[in-house]
Structure 1
Amino acid sequence: MAKEKTAKLEEEQPETQQEKPKKKRKFSLIIIIAVVVLAVGAAGAYLLLVKGSTDKKGIITKDSKNTITVNFALEPFVVNLMDQSGSKYLKVSIQIELSDARLLESAKNKTPQIRDIIITLLTNKTSDELITPEGKLLLKDEIKQRINQILGDNSVVNVYLTDFVMQ
């Protein structure tokens, strides 16, 4: 009788040993899925809470002085550069940080004038001028100065080049 119990125990042991690795795999798979779901949820919450936007073209932010500024995105520019060969192109996307949220509507209304001055400025540049970091900073300052002439002094806080491809 003792031999029968031992034989039964030996037969049952391999089954439980085979079930343990399956349970461990299932358990670890569940943990991995839970971690991924939490990471995606945290990333989504961050984007919603920290990157609050007003619409497609305006993003409200606060600067260091606790004044509310607004980013105004312009459609991408594709222009010929003033090179000797005449075959250089520039594609650039620009966002303008306005000093006050109330200026957003004015900037939207004056988009054709803003685009015109930027296109005029870009087409008078060479690839050698724009390829250097100093050239890009100078371009941003010139854009800021010219847009301030249209919208009023100190309307533009900063100019951001969000896409810059030269060919």
Structure 2
Amino acid sequence: MAKDAKPAEEGAEVAPKKSKKLLIIILAVVLVVVLAGGGAAFMLLKKGDHEEGDEEVAEETAKPKKKDKKKDAHAAPVFVNLDPFTVNLVPETGDQYLQVILSLELEDAAADPQLKALTPKIRNNITLLLSSKKASELLPKEGKEKLAEALKEEINSVIEPPKKNKKGETTPSEGPVKAVLFTSFIIQ
């Protein structure tokens, strides 16, 4: 009987060892599944935060604030060269013409595509403005400075048309052109 009791006890000992191994395997599988789910959730949330951050950066880039413009004052200027203009001036002492080459100083490079898209209208308005001048108006330095300011206002009004307020008055809007520079100015 003693021999019979030992095998029964051995069988009892073997059964708990198997159930411990099975329990450890089940816990390991559950742990792996939980860790994998947690890792996937972390990656998805991290990816979602990155996308939101990218949208905020895109919004900030699309609409720069005036404060940012002051900070960018030390940035390198952006210049756009226009093709030469040759126009007849208003006659005073016979036929006279003006040949001028302009460079435009822009606030930032983002305005360049818009400027290029509106080039035909800008060239038309500049030609009309230049051909309405007399040589005697343009010869002194002050005349050239007034012309440069008038050209700047004309170009900015094409790019960003003036808006009307509630009273019906037009308020000029500041456009992307900071200055009009003459690279060549010939009157004959």
Q: TM-score range, shorter-chain basis?
A: 0.5 to 0.7
1:4-28 superposed Cα distances (whole Å, 9 cap, x missing partner): xxxxxxxxxxxxxxxxxxxxxxxxx
Structure having the higher helix fraction is: 2
- Secondary structure at 1:125 match in 2: coil
Instruction: State the AA in 2 paired with 1:162.
Output: T
Q: TM-score, normalised by structure 1?
A: 0.59
Q: TM-score, normalised to structure 2's length?
A: 0.53
Cα offset, 1:107, TM superposition: 0.7
Q: CA deviation at 1:83?
A: 1.8
Query: How do residues 95-134 of structure 1 correspond to structure 2 at under 5 angstroms?
Result: 95-134=103-142
Structure in which a larger fraction of residues adopt strand? 1
Say whether the 8 Å CA contact 2:85–2:101 is kept in structure 1.
Answer: yes
Q: Displacement of 1:68 after TM fit?
A: 4.6
Query: Are residue 137 (structure 1) and residue 145 (structure 2) matched?
Result: yes
74, 96, 104: which one aligns with 1:66: 74
**Equivalent of 2:178, from 143, 157, 162?**
157
Q: What SS does the corresponding residue of 1:79 show, helix, strand or coil?
A: strand
Deviation of 1:138 after TM superposition, in Å, equals 0.2
RMSD: 1.7
Larger Rg: 2
- In 2: Cα distance, 1:120 partner to 1:69 partner: 28
Q: Is the 8 A contact 2:98 2:187 kept in 1?
A: yes
Amino acid in structure 2 at the alignment position of 1:160: L
CA contact (8 A) 1:68 1:101 kept: no
Q: Secondary structure at the match of 2:73?
A: coil
Contact 1:148 1:155 in 2 (8 A): yes
Q: CA deviation at 1:140?
A: 0.2
Query: Shift of the alpha carbon at 1:86?
Result: 4.2
Q: Which amino acid aligns with 1:166?
A: I
Q: What one-letter code is carried by the residue in structure 1 that aligns with 2:177?
A: V
Q: Which residue, out of 130, 143, 154, partners 1:146?
A: 154
Distance 1:86 1:124 in 2: 15
User: Which residue of structure 2 aligns with residue 84 of structure 1?
Assistant: 92
> Partners in 2 of 1:159 and 1:69 — Cα distance?
13
For residue 120 of structure 1, give the secondary structure of its aligned residue in structure 2.
helix
Alignment of 1:8-47 (within 5 A): none
CA contact (8 A) 2:105 2:180 kept: yes
C-alpha displacement of 1:84: 2.8
Q: 1-side partners of 2:125 and 2:133: how far apart? A: 13
Give identity over the alignment, percent: 36
Q: Tell me what 2:12 maps to.
A: none
